[in-house]
Amino acid sequence: MYMEEYLKAMRQGQKEIKAAAAQGLPEKLQLLPENQVSYVARRESLGIVDIPMDLIAGTCTALRRDAFSPGFLPVLPADTEFAAKWRLLCEAHMGEGISSPIHAVEYMNRYYVQEGHKRVSVLKYFGASSIPGVVTRLYPYPSEDPEITAYYEFLDFYRLTGMNFLVYRTPGEYAQLLESVGYSTTEPWSAEEIDAFRSFFYMFQDACYRVGMSSAAIPEALLVYIKVFGYTASLDKLSTEIAQELPKLRQETQNREEKAGVTLMLDDAVKKPLISLALGSGKVCAAFIHDGSAAASKWIYHHEYARHILEHALREHIQTFSYENVGTGDGADAAIENAVKQGADVIFTTTPRLLLNSVRQAVQHPNVKILNCSLNTAYPSVRTYYPRMYEAKFIKGAIAGTLSRDGRIGYVADYPTYGSIAGINAFALGARMVNAQARVYLEWSTLREGGGFQRLVDAGLLCIDHLDHLVSGDASAMEEDHSLALVQCRWARLYLSIIRRVMEGTWKQESRGVSAINYWWGMNQGVVNVLCSRELPTGSRRLAEILRDAIQNERLTPFYGELRNQRGELVHYGSAPLQADQILTMNWLDQGVEGRIPELEELTDKAQELVKLQGVERRV
């Protein structure tokens, strides 16, 4: 009895071994590494734990390795005692069920069986999702190894939830999960929260298996799915509904699995004259989606102004329209859907707050090109764009350095997001280039406590860069906010170049597999400039012109040579400039800066919303 089941399982096991050999993978069960003294900091008995079958990696006993395939299927001949015992367990499972717990060791979220190998084998063969086991946990020595860092983050997650079936091996992903589901990162979950998440996870897991996804891909797919479609909105979905949506997220999921990240497009390769291009191209319909209004927001006003320039430049070859005050919830989704119905070929969403709305609609409408105004966002369904501001900030810092009498310069930043830290540091480097004793005193405009600008005024600083307006003089002059120098973002130049990509057909040529595309253009591409007041001293204006010319012609870059952080630690050295991705994700402040990067909870609610989307990953 049950001989046929054993033979079937054995054939599957033999096939698994052949497949592993063909791929150069181990053909036997994994063995728990020996010499535990060298890698185990301590051990702990967890008692009886429900062990996920997908996480059972191997055995503690070398003698057991030859009896099973890498996936715990039996491979010994059918006339052996081993096969007879396997069949008896098979009969028990089909009868009253197998309830006796196995004994296992857990190390780095992988379980190694000490006793109960055949029970694991039988239940794996019949597709069981878990098995009870008496588990001993081995703790690795803490280190900077990313997988060990992620494991200790798992331990924090486990203490909050008691859940061991969801494993991430990249640092920061448990924090992303907690943020996405909206639960506390410090308070233990309630029984109801745990039960709701567990139910949703198994529904999601079933959907993944329906579309042929491997178990290893499920954690990343879950994180993408929750971010895009929302956890609360998905709790009541059936696995069949989720399975219909999962294929739409294939690019996003592969991006995370392959760690494809973001490809920064630093140069504008489109060189065709605008007039000849327009005359030879068909009409493009472009929609602009704003979370607020041009009347209330300078940011949105500048994007709307650029839209009108775009229409004027391309005349009958383009049609544009815009939506204002759409918010960031259902209204934004509805606006994008309406733009698609109105025939939009290209949709620009003009704030990072609309990123997830953009992704959600992009996967629903793959034939529409949707771009979001943000930085370093790894969603290949949506392209992103943003001015490269740090070059202009460097020039402004140099101007400030020439104006400051005592070397003290104020700087009021808005959000600690991607690119903004580079802007602060570039400003400080520019100031110290012309004045070695210059110190930049940093404040933030989005702190809950407020008063950042006033604190600098009260401290007697007479040269302050206040949200990109460089002002100098006494407090009354500062209140008039008359800019001696400011950064100009030529949004129309950026939009024209992107539309030209669509019109001339080079859009597809810039694709980089499942890597997300981010246009990050600066002074050399004509997207960013520094405007100087006539009230600036002649020498300061001349210096700005020289630096602008040097940057535009790539003879100068702000970040090169010896760079040190506030602690005096060397973060870069050599003649080669800092790489673009290092500049973009900069999370340290230059040694010439007095101040710090604020914690998330110190910011206003609106600022926190943006920083959660675009904030620097780690703070130094």
Asked whether residue 65 falls in the same domain as residue 22, the answer is yes
In a domain, 440, yes or no: yes
Question: Can you tell me the mean pLDDT for 249-263?
Answer: 93
Beta pairing class for 439-444 and 408-413: parallel
Same-domain check for residues 236 and 250 = yes
* Domain-embedded: residue 414: yes
Kindly state whether residues 228 and 279 are assigned to the same domain. Answer: no
pLDDT band at 16 (very low <50, low <70, confident <90, very high): very high
Mean pLDDT is lowest, of 243-252, 271-280, 591-600, for: 271-280
Number of domains into which the chain is organized:
4
Domain-located, residue 278: yes
Residue 150 falls within a domain, yes or no? yes
Residue 167 lies in a domain: yes
State which H helix or E strand residue 265 sits in. Answer: strand 262-265
* Number of residues in the chain: 620
Last residue of a domain, one of 120, 141, 162: 141
* 414 touches 446 (CB < 8 A): yes
Tell me which residue of 276, 247, 464 sits closest to 366, measured CA to CA: 247
Do residue 71 and residue 117 come from a single domain?
A: yes
Residues 33 and 11 in one domain: yes
Task: Tell me the mean pLDDT in the region 183-201.
Answer: 92
Q: Residue 586: which pLDDT band, with cuts at 50, 70 and 90?
A: very high
Examine residue 502 and state whether it is found in any structural domain, yes or no.
no
Angle at 469 between CA 600 and CA 465, to 5 degrees: 60
Q: Are both 56 and 189 inside the same structural domain?
A: no
Residues 569 and 434 in one domain: yes
> Could you tell me the CATH number of the domain that includes residue 50?
3.90.1530.10
CATH code for position 478 = 3.40.50.2300
Select the more confidently predicted residue: 275 or 61: 61
Would you say residue 383 has pLDDT above 60?
Answer: yes
Residue 341 located in a structural domain: yes
Give the pLDDT confidence of 444-461 residue by residue, as tens digits.
999 999 888 999 999 999
Domain C-terminal end among 141, 170, 198 = 141
Q: What is the mean pLDDT of the chain?
A: 92
For residues 65 and 201, membership in a common domain is answered with no
Which is nearest to 422 in space by CA: 299, 542, 520? 520
CA pair distance 398, 435, nearest whole angstrom: 8
Predicted structure pTM score: 0.88
Q: Which amino acid appears at position 229 of this protein?
A: F
Closest to 182 in 3D by CA, of 229, 232, 220, 147: 232
Is the domain of 300 the same as that of 441? no
pLDDT score for 148 = 96
pLDDT at 526: 94
Q: Which domain holds residue 586?
A: 390-490+527-614
The last residue of one of the domains, among 373, 407, 433, is 373
Same structural domain, 221 and 300: no
Q: Is residue 497 one of the residues assigned to a domain? A: no
What DSSP character marks residue 321? E
Look up residue 526 and give its DSSP letter.
T
Residues 348 and 214 in one domain: no
The answer on 274 and 245 residing in a single domain is: no
d(CA 220, CA 333): 24
